[in-house]
A and B are shown apart, each in its own frame.
Chain A
Amino acid sequence: MPFSLCFHFAFSFPIKLPFLLSHFIPLESNTSTNPLSTYNNLRILHQVFFFFKFATMEGRVTYENDDLNLKATELRLGLPGTDETDDHEQAISNARNNKRPSPDTTDDCVNKSRSDEAAPVAKAQIVGWPPIRSYRKNTLQPKKTEAEAPGIYVKVSMDGAPYLRKIDLKVYKGYPELLKALENMFKFTIGQYSEREGYKGSEYAPTYEDKDGDWMLVGDVPWDMFMTSCKRLRIMKGSEARGLGCGV
Chain B
Amino acid sequence: MNYFPDEVIEHVFDFITSHKDRNAVSLVCKSWYKIERMSRQIVFIGNCYAISPEGVIARFPELKSLTLKGKPHFADFNLVPHDWGGILYPWIEAFAKSRVGLEELRLKRMVVSDESLELLSKSFVNFKALVLVSCEGFSTDGLAAVAANCRFLRELDLQENEVEDHRGHWISRFPESCTSLVSLNLACLKGEINLSALERLVARSPNLKSLRLSRAVPLDALQKILMRAPQLVDLGTGSFVHDPASDAYNKLKATILKCKSIKSLSGFLEVAPRCLSAIHPICHNLTSLNLSYAPGIHGNDLIKLIQHCRKLERLWILDCIGDKGLGIVASTCKELQELRVFPSDPYGVGNAAVTEEGLVAISAGCPKLHSLLYFCQQMTNAALITVAKNCSNFTRFRLCILDPTRPDPVTMQPLDEGFGAIVQSCKRLRRLSLSGLLTDRVFLYIGMYAEQLEMLSIAFAGDSDKGMLYVLNGCKKLRKLEIRDSPFGDTALLTDVGKYETMRSLWMSSCEVTLGGCKTLAKNRPMLNVEIINEDDQIDFSSDDRQKVGKMYLYRTLVGPRKDAPEFVWTLSRRWVGTDLVKQHNSNSSKFLTMAGQEKSQKSQGWSKNPVPSGWNCHNIGVLSKNYCTRIIGYEDLKGTMA
Listed in ascending order, the chain A residues whose CB lies under 8 Å from chain B are 84-85, 88, 91-92, 94-95, 98, 100-103, 106, 109-110, 112, 114-115, 119-120, 123-124, 126-137, 139-140, 143
Contact = CB atoms under 8 A, between A and B. Distances in A.
B412 interface: yes
Interface stretch (B171-179, B256-264, B400-408, B496-504): B400-408
Interface string B151-178: 0000000001110000000000000000
Contacts of B292: 136
Contacts of A112: 348
B161 A135 contact: yes
Interface centre among B188, B343, B378, B457, by most chain A C-beta atoms within 10 angstroms, is B343
Contacts of B355: 103
A115 to B, nearest CB: 4
Contact of B76 (A91, A120, A131): A131
Interface centre among A101, A112, A139, by most chain B C-beta atoms within 10 angstroms, is A139
25 contacts: A91-B405, A91-B460, A92-B405, A95-B405, A95-B406, A95-B437, A100-B403, A103-B352, A103-B409, A109-B350, A115-B348, A127-B78, A128-B77, A128-B484, A129-B404, A129-B459, A130-B346, A131-B457, A132-B77, A132-B342, A133-B160, A134-B77, A136-B293, A140-B293, A140-B295
B312 to A, nearest CB: 21
Interface of B: 74, 76-79, 134, 160-162, 188, 269, 292-293, 295, 342-344, 346-352, 355, 375, 378, 400, 402-407, 409, 412, 433, 437, 457, 459-460, 484-485, 510
Contacts of B343: 130, 132
Nearest to A129: B404
Nearest to B457: A131
A133 B77 contact: yes
A130 B375 contact: yes
Q: Which A-B residue pairs are the 6 nearest by beta carbons? A: A128-B77, A135-B160, A115-B349, A124-B347, A95-B405, A133-B76
Contacts of B485: 84, 88
A133 B188 CA distance: 13
Contacts of A119: 349
A143 B352 CA distance: 22
A94 B292 CA distance: 31
B188 A135 contact: yes
A140 B79 contact: no
A120 B403 CA distance: 11
B373 to A, nearest CB: 10
Contact of B346 (A106, A110, A132, A139): A132
Given A131-B77, A135-B188, A136-B293, A109 B400 contact: no
A161 to B, nearest CB: 38
Nearest to A88: B485
Contacts of B342: 132, 136
Contacts of A110: 351
A42 B504 CA distance: 49
A129 B79 CA distance: 10
B400 A131 contact: yes
Nearest to B296: A143
A135 B134 CA distance: 8
A133 B400 CA distance: 13
Contacts of B78: 127-128, 134
A94 B406 CA distance: 8
Contact of A88 (B161, B351, B460): B460
Contacts of A92: 405
Contact of A126 (B350, B378, B404): B404
Contacts of A129: 77, 404, 459
B568 to A, nearest CB: 16
Nearest to A127: B78
Contacts of A143: 295
A140 B344 contact: yes
Given A98-B412, A124-B347, A126-B404, 6 more contacts: A95-B403, A100-B406, A109-B351, A128-B78, A129-B404, A133-B76
Nearest to A93: B405
A136 B420 CA distance: 31
A88 B375 CA distance: 20
Contacts of B459: 129, 131
Contact of B351 (A106, A135, A139): A106
Contacts of B161: 135
A26 to B, nearest CB: 12
Interface centre among B134, B347, B400, B484, by most chain A C-beta atoms within 10 angstroms, is B347
A112 B122 CA distance: 54
Contacts of A84: 485, 510
A94 B460 CA distance: 13
Given A95-B406, A130-B343, A135 B162 contact: yes
A109 B119 CA distance: 55
A232 to B, nearest CB: 33
Nearest to B406: A95
A24 B348 CA distance: 22
A75 to B, nearest CB: 19
A128 B74 contact: yes
Contacts of A132: 77, 342-343, 346, 375
Nearest to A134: B78
B416 to A, nearest CB: 14
B346 A137 contact: yes
Nearest to B348: A115
Contact of A123 (B76, B295, B403): B403
A143 B297 CA distance: 13
Contacts of A126: 404
Nearest to A132: B346
Nearest to B346: A130
A131 B433 CA distance: 10
A154 to B, nearest CB: 29
